[in-house]
Structure 1
Amino acid sequence: MHSTDDAGKLLLRAVLAILLLFHGVSKLSGGIGFITGMLQGLGLPAFLGYGVYVGEVVAPLLILVGLYTRPAALVVAINMVVALLLVHTGQFFTLGDTGGWALELQGMYLGGALAVALLGAGRYSLGGINGRFN
């Protein structure tokens, strides 16, 4: 392994986790009524909306510190797929005002989470390079 691989994994984990935590903190302070409302509108139980706290608070914190990193990254990926299906299906084939894909942010979160799930946490993590699920 190259000497910078673990630093790259740390950078990827930190950026993904910190940027997702902003969304989680926003939902902690503002509530998730819009999510539970959407779920109920689709005939699904409202309590499923509380899963957003796992995907945008708990999992990013685990990713950030490097503990159960791979499963946490898979939770984030699943959370992003659900968000894409619930909120953004109308934007799948559209471009934003600046010419990029309208869902590039969501796409980067999904791709970043999948990359972390494949790469693991690396040496700079609580789980350590040989940690289980890291």
Structure 2
Amino acid sequence: MPSARFEQPVLSLFRIVTGLLFACHGAATLFDVLGGPHGEVPSAGQWPSWWAAVIQLTGGALVLIGIGTRPAALVCSGSMAYAYFVHHQGDGLFPMENGGESAALFCWAFLLIAALGPGQWSLAALRNQPAHRREEVSSHPNSH
């Protein structure tokens, strides 16, 4: 199947872009960069906005580089589910009504990444690659 050869690269690109965009939200909120936060810059430890921004920055960065991808993506997904149901759902049933489109999309995107993993272009895959190659060489009959 020709499309199967594109699955891992596309998954990797999806993870990279999603992680980058999420990390940018966190950086904007915490450091008043990239156009700044949507609202006031929260004080350190302020619930929930400061903690959400920390999850966005650190979780997005981990997903972006592909280290601890599944647990980081699961935390990011959960934080966006919380944001949607606590901060958006009360303003209307549908995301178009309540302004929760990005929270809903990030929630489902991170859930997909948590389920499928980081793809082949990740630091975790790169870190595991030399050990994998050593196993292939040592199990090859002509390597002795």
TM-score (norm 2): 0.68
Q: Are residues 1:127 and 2:124 paired?
A: yes
- Corresponding residue SS for 2:118: coil
Q: Are residues 1:26 and 2:28 paired?
A: yes
The alpha carbon displacement at 1:12 in A equals: 1.2
Of residues 100, 105, 109 in structure 2, which corresponds to 1:108? 105
**Bigger shift: 54-63 or 22-31?**
22-31
The alpha carbon displacement at 1:115 in A equals: 0.3
The alpha carbon displacement at 1:53 in A equals: 3.5
The corresponding residue for 1:9 is 11
Q: Distance in 1 between matches of 2:6 and 2:71?
A: 24
Q: Deviations 1:86-119 (Å, cap 9, x if unpaired)?
A: 321223414638xxx7422211101100000000
Q: Which structure 2 residue ranges, 5 or more long, are not aligned?
A: 33-40, 129-144
**Runs of 4+ with >6 A deviation:** none
Q: Which structure 1 residue ranges, 5 or more long, are not aligned?
A: 37-45
Q: Distance in 2 between matches of 1:58 and 1:102?
A: 24
Q: Distance in 1 between matches of 2:100 and 2:95?
A: 8
8 Å CA contact retained: 1:121, 1:129: no
The alpha carbon displacement at 1:59 in A equals: 0.7
* Equivalent residue pairs, number: 117
Change in 2 beyond 3 A, CA 1:62/1:83 = same
Quote the sequence identity (%): 26
Q: Distance in 1 between matches of 2:83 and 2:99?
A: 14
**Bigger shift: 84-93 or 56-65?**
84-93
- Corresponding residue SS for 1:128: helix
8 Å CA contact retained: 1:80, 1:109: yes
**Bigger shift: 9-18 or 62-71?**
9-18
The corresponding residue for 2:137 is none
Give the aligned residue type for 1:57. Answer: L
Name the structure where helix makes up a greater proportion of residues: 2
Change in 2 beyond 3 A, CA 1:23/1:110 = same
